[in-house]
Amino acid sequence: MNPKSSEQKSGQVVLPGERLGVIEEFIPDSGTYVKDGVIYSKIVGRALMDLLNRRVSVYPLIRGAIVPKVGGTVVGQVGHGQSDNVLVRIFKIGSKKLSGVFTGILHISDVEERYVDSMNDVCKPGDIIRAKVISEKNQIYHLSTNDKGLGVVYSFCSLCGNLLEPKRYEMRCPKCGYIEKRKTAVDYGQEEL
């Protein structure tokens, strides 16, 4: 063990996965994780080695940087999808817009209470969707739209790209008349972007 090398690292900018020390040397604090007795940084930030209290922590480089949290609401754009899931580029957490973009995944079983046959009836690439983060397992944000306040908030016609309007249980394109399906939020069309 060489405390001096750790001391020199204090104040430096570290990256996720960067080695900060060992548990014999330090107590891991916020912004760190431990694997096989070695302490690593969990985030991009400034390492702080508190030699007096033998604690190591990493402070986010961007003050108050926001990341999606389990239980929180996010807004994102629907990206590539398969028959049973779609990827969502998250660009808003709560009411805060993000500089960085996180990726979430919405699985067909988390769309709503009742059985959903196809992701095609839920959302399409390009749509804007509001969802709740239900897990961040393996650093992937798993999303749910299972609430009347959650779901698609803006959607676009598959034929002409025009903004779709809700019409009873379907969505209708006011420009070309095409009709398709979505799982919309109750306040469809009102999200501030």
Q: Using CB under 5 A as the criterion, which residues of the chain lie in contact with Zn ion when the complex forms?
A: 157, 159-160, 162, 173, 175-176, 178
- Minimum Å gap between C-beta 174 and Zn ion is 8
Q: Select 83 or 162, whichever has its Cβ closest to Zn ion.
A: 162
Distance CA 62, CA 24 (A): 30
- Minimum Å gap between C-beta 126 and Zn ion is 13
Q: Select 121 or 165, whichever has its Cβ closest to Zn ion.
A: 165
- Minimum Å gap between C-beta 127 and Zn ion is 14
Q: Select 140 or 163, whichever has its Cβ closest to Zn ion.
A: 163
- Minimum Å gap between C-beta 171 and Zn ion is 10
Q: Select 101 or 160, whichever has its Cβ closest to Zn ion.
A: 160
How many other CB atoms are there within 10 angstroms of residue 24's CB atom?
8
126 CB-near residues (< 8 Å, 6+ apart): 77, 78, 156
Residue 9 is given by DSSP the state: H
